[in-house]
Structure 1
Amino acid sequence: MADILVTTTENIPGKDYEIIGEAFGVTTQSRNAISDFGAGLKSIVGGEIKGYTKMLTNSRLEAISRLKEEAAKMGVDAVVMMRFDTGSIAGDMQSVVAYGTAVKYQN
């Protein structure tokens, strides 16, 4: 996969580019039953549920990786204005999408 720059900024210093289109990467993950049971117990006493934190961190990394793959297929150099969006599915699954504007350098 090409080295695609992904940035949350609108502009890339020193680069002129044309907008090619929207690019995104999505993943949906769930924890196993044992982790869900542990999370239920943790919700009684409060505090961070580390299993879910790890799942969401991994989901974000996977979504960015898939965003880069999609951008590479489009033949672009970078993705600007990258954002994340998340949502729950059926109460025990989490979907994460990374999306942004795919651009091609004009230099």
Structure 2
Amino acid sequence: MEKITYDDVVEYNYLFTFAPSFLLERMAKKNSNLVKKFKSSIQSYMDNLTDIQCVKLNVILDSDVSELQAIMQEAYEKTNKKQYRILANPNYSQFIELNLNELKGMV
């Protein structure tokens, strides 16, 4: 199975850093379903994915949250962007799982 790497993450840096870190952390603490809140925007974005992007999305959706968080930790160490630190935090694994499951339902 193909794996997602730091290079894949950095390619979409703007998506991970779009929300200010304080807002992302608040949403993570509340275990908010961001995918549901932004469903129409996400759907229109997903409708325009290339074949390669679709494959990568499916790899992400099939990955363990712990693997994804390890990549987020690597991204944080390399970029020092707080959003990656938040997403790497094991306390927020349920937040990530909730949103990944919502995305799976859209695919």
Range into which the TM-score falls when normalised by the shorter chain: under 0.3
Larger radius of gyration: 1
Q: State the structure with bigger RCO (CA 8 A, min sep 6), 1 or 2.
A: 1
TM-score normalised according to structure 1 size: 0.27
Larger fraction in strand: 1
